[in-house]
Amino acid sequence: MSEAHSISPRTARLIGRVSAIILLLLALAYGLGGSVIEYAFASDPLGPRVFPIALAVVLGGLGILYFLSPGTAEGFPHGALLARVLAIPALLAISVLLFEPLGFAVSIFTLTLGTALIFGAPPVKALIGAVGHAVLWWFVFGYVLEVYLPAGTVFGG
């Protein structure tokens, strides 16, 4: 949780400037979006548009300050590590797609097995861990706490 990578001030500045530009574009889009909100009636003097527009202005101002003094940044990982880090959301997306059709157990098994492998677990241990996770969480949430979980539409759930 402390600073992980020490990156050069130049990279930090670049990351800061790019982020600032993205935030300025966001402020612009959000402000324009806010100024065209349609409403039939307004029961107060401000209406639904003013607050978003004001936020866009404030974000714009802060974005300019940020651009001028970008400060420090943590920086992005490189190469293989970056690929592994990005594999987490990708894997999560796949598991979520499986969630309703194939059910909780299959989806959780995929997610936990994949994550364990991404984190560098030995395959056999990862497999045992994934079976354990699937059984444990199904038991805890499905039986003990009775939270609704999909059984999987292909299994008639």
Please give the structure tokens belonging to residue 26.
Answer: 């966001």
Binding status of residue 112 toward another protein by CB under 8 A: yes
- Mention every residue, 6+ apart, whose C-beta is less than 8 A from residue 137: 108
Q: Which of 75, 106, 131, 151 binds another protein (CB under 8 A)?
A: 75
Side-chain-side CA neighbours of 76 within 13 Å: the count stands at: 12
Binding status of residue 16 toward another protein by CB under 8 A: yes
Please give the structure tokens belonging to residue 120.
Answer: 């560098």
Binding status of residue 53 toward another protein by CB under 8 A: no
Binding status of residue 37 toward another protein by CB under 8 A: yes
Binding status of residue 34 toward another protein by CB under 8 A: yes
CB 126 within 8 A of CB 117: yes
CA–CA dist 76, 11 (Å, integer): 10
Binding status of residue 99 toward another protein by CB under 8 A: yes
CB of 156 to another protein, least distance (A): 18
Q: Which of 21, 25, 85, 154 binds another protein (CB under 8 A)?
A: 85
Binding status of residue 106 toward another protein by CB under 8 A: no
Helices (H) and strands (E) in the chain, counts: 4, 0
Q: Which of 79, 89, 124, 143 binds another protein (CB under 8 A)?
A: 89
Binding status of residue 133 toward another protein by CB under 8 A: yes
Please give the structure tokens belonging to residue 96.
Answer: 């979520």
Binding status of residue 127 toward another protein by CB under 8 A: no
